[in-house]
Amino acid sequence: MLIRRPPDIATSEITNEAVYLKRREFMKAASGVAAGFALGPLLPKVLYAQDEWTPREAVTGYNNFYEFGTGKEDPARNAHTLRPRPWTISVGGEVNKPKEYGIEDILSRFPSEERVYRMRCVEAWSMVIPWLGFPLRDLLNDVEPNSKARFVAFETLYDPEQMPGQRRAVIDWPYVEGLRLDEALHPLTILSTGLYGSMLPNQNGAPIRLVVPWKYGFKSIKSIVKITLVEDMPPTSWNMMIPHEYGFYANVNPNVDHPRWSQAKERPIGKFRRIDTQMFNGYGEQVADLYAGMDLRRYY
Amino acid sequence: MTRSQYITRIVKPAVFLALLAPFLFMGYEAATGGLSANPIEDVLHRSGLWGLRILILSLAITPLKILFGWNVLMRFRRMVGLFAFFYLVLHFFIYVGLDRFFSLGDILEDITLRPFITVGFVSLLMLVPLAVTSTKKMIKRLGSKRWQRLHRLVYPAAIGGVVHYLWAVKLDAREPTIYAVLLGILLTLRLKRVSGRK
């Protein structure tokens, strides 16, 4: 795996806000794809969370991955039955060049870089995780979404033999998720193939998963086998199971409570006290304009 | 040693230790780092779970006595009941002190705005007079009839506890449903007995 380690980012290198905000107009003008491409080089390559990293033991030992059991320690215990090689990801739908990628193709074609992101679970706990990944945008550009593409749908493997938790219909398998195209093309959105400098452990969604750090963790779908560009908003698993509790957008928002519990605070795993949850998980500067004018209470 | 002495000196302490064991094990795991990556959530869950289990166990004593004639079980009912109260108070203190860090505003908001916490809190409150009136002196003071009537509060408290658990789980309701069924059976037995008497 190619791992490019960029130098530390000086504050002077952070993109001028005016240029950054204009990005949206460019995207609208050129179906999003070419625009993101044009501005890409101007944006910081690595966005660091300023906080301490969550210990690796916790990152790989405390997981929600119901395909391997609904307890937090079940995935680490049970995910050994997953076979992340060989692995194929089909990328298609409203694109000019649909492709089937082997995981090795992806690793060699899209070099990974380290991305330290905050991860906020909807259950009100959080982590800071050093992912290895590349912008989803790069993969999407490779298949060339056409003008009909408005959303990106993702699908996890369905194989109860490898994923024993799928023998119980606690969720309607396979797990599915989706993003609006501009969210998918955003520089923060990555496909991750590793963490803490090595390949993704099975329980973290090997061999490839999504990471969307400004949304609740359940949006960051694991063990992806299919990515489809679509015209209409795709179904998402948690929204299908409990629609009034889990929405499509699922942006981290301390002002909009979960129907059963508050979202104002979160427990950082490894720390003792709860901390205040930040709007968009602290990535507001980079993503808030995606939702300008949107009622975030209605579109939770 | 008479049978009664045997029960008092050997069986009761053994049962006491058995009921204390989950607490001791929790403490051991906490001290040796054996809890999960979210230790506060871990002990919060386990203390509540054991409190509920032992509370349901206390409700099984009278039906078992009636079904099998095991009158000796009655000698353990108070201990079992008080242990349930112990675990549930522990559960509450962990919530107040470790989860909410004594933040009164957050706690009041939870109790008033989150139905599952409202139910849990009210159910715990119902157990307080039961714990307070558990001594022989109090039984005498209240008189058998009033004491019996007061202690019927254990039924709504147990139901509330199961509802609290059911409403707290994110999606997998398998375990709380088992307790709901168990409690349903025990309460039905009770109803049958009460209506049978009449």
A88 touches chain B (CB under 8 A): no
- pLDDT value at position A183? 98
Q: Is A289 on the interface with B (CB under 8 A)?
A: no
> Please, are residues A251 and A215 in contact by the beta-carbon 8 Å criterion?
yes
| Strand segments (E) across A57-199 | 88-93, 99-102, 112-120, 125-135, 151-156, 176-180, 190-195, 198-199
A174 preceded by cis ω (within 30°)? Answer: yes
Cβ-defined contact of A260 to B106 (cutoff 8 Å): no
Please indicate if any CB of chain B lies within 8 Å of the CB of A15.
Answer: no
Contact A73 B168 (CB under 8 A): no
How many domains would you assign to chain B? 1
Is B38 close to A267, i.e. CB distance below 8 A? yes
Range of the domain at B46: 3-197
SS3 B26: helix
pLDDT in tens, A259-298: 999 999 999 999 989 999 999 999 999 999 999 999 999 9
**ipTM of predicted complex:** 0.89
User: How confident is the model over A44-80, as pLDDT tens digits?
Assistant: 334 455 678 999 999 999 999 999 999 999 999 999 9
Pick the residue from chain B with its C-alpha nearest to A63: B37
Name, in order, each residue with C-beta under 8 angstroms of A234's C-beta and a sequence gap of 6 or more: A151, A152, A153, A176, A177, A178, A228
B94, amino acid identity: I
Query: Which residue of B lies nearest to A275 if distances are taken between CA atoms?
Result: B100
pLDDT at B118 over 70: yes
Write down all domains in chain A, each with its CATH number in brackets.
45-291 (3.90.420.10)
- Report the residue of chain B nearest A72, measured CA to CA: B36
pLDDT, greater one: A22 or A274: A274
Task: Tell if the CB–CB gap between B36 and A61 is shorter than 8 Å.
Answer: yes
Spell out which residues of chain B touch residue A129, defining contact as CB-CB under 8 Å: none
Higher pLDDT, B67 or B76: B76
Does B170 contact A123 at a Cβ distance shorter than 8 Å? yes
Closest residue on chain A to B100 (Cα): A274
Does B172 touch chain A if contact means CB atoms closer than 8 Å?
yes
